[in-house]
Amino acid sequence: MKIGIVGIGTVGSSIAFALLQRKDIKEILVYDIDEKLLEGEVTDLNHASYILTTNKKINKVYKLSQLKDCKRVIITAGLPRKYGQTMDDIYEQNKKIIKEITKQIGTGHLLITNPVERLAEEFNHKPIGGLLDRIRSITDERDGDYIIKHKGHTNWGVTAEVLRSI
């Protein structure tokens, strides 16, 4: 199976690393608007692939249209929420980003960009994060804002949810 990832920041790179360990994934294509970040993360992830002896190649793509033949595309692109920000604070900026991505690769992809429920509904993508929200409410009631306050970002819970969704 070929998987595409749009956005290779903290969440996108965490997902790419986790996908390296899936036997059913044969190739991972990655796109990011920041070509310097893209080059660094893809090189780093390919080194990890060799160490893990997965024989998988993570390839950079420079056009979103190159992701059209992927079985699944995971969209993580957008501005992350910072401590103290609400989802409304980042909605307009992320709406522009997701609108442009959707225009180029179509609908029905896995979306992680916040505010995920609102953007997924607006652009006809599958939201990822609902299970994580339910787990947080059942376990310790510490939400993403708590994690952002302590480490600056969240990534592992949503990475696990993506693995369950593919």
pLDDT at 75 (0 to 100): 97
Q: What is the mean pLDDT of residues 106-113?
A: 94
pLDDT at 123 (0 to 100): 97
pLDDT at 87 (0 to 100): 82
pLDDT classification of 3: cutoffs 50, 70, 90: very high
Q: What is the mean pLDDT of residues 60-85?
A: 92
Cβ–Cβ < 8 Å for 3, 28: yes
Q: Which residues pair with 110 in a beta bridge?
A: 74, 126
CA dist 139 and 137 (Å) reads: 6
**pTM recorded for the entire structure:** 0.86
Domain regions of the chain by residue span: 2-165
pLDDT at 100 (0 to 100): 97
Q: Above pLDDT 70, what percent of the chain?
A: 90
Give tens-digit pLDDT for 15-36: 999 999 999 999 999 999 999 9
Q: What is the mean pLDDT of residues 109-128?
A: 94
Query: Per-residue pLDDT for 102 more than 90?
Result: yes
pLDDT classification of 164: cutoffs 50, 70, 90: confident
pLDDT at 12 (0 to 100): 96
Options 3.40.50.970, 3.40.50.720, 3.20.20.100, 3.40.50.620; CATH for 2-165 is: 3.40.50.720
Q: Output 19-23 pairs: Cβ under 8 A, ≥24 positions apart.
A: 19/163, 19/166, 20/45, 20/48, 20/49, 20/52, 20/54, 20/56, 20/58, 21/52, 21/54, 22/163, 22/166
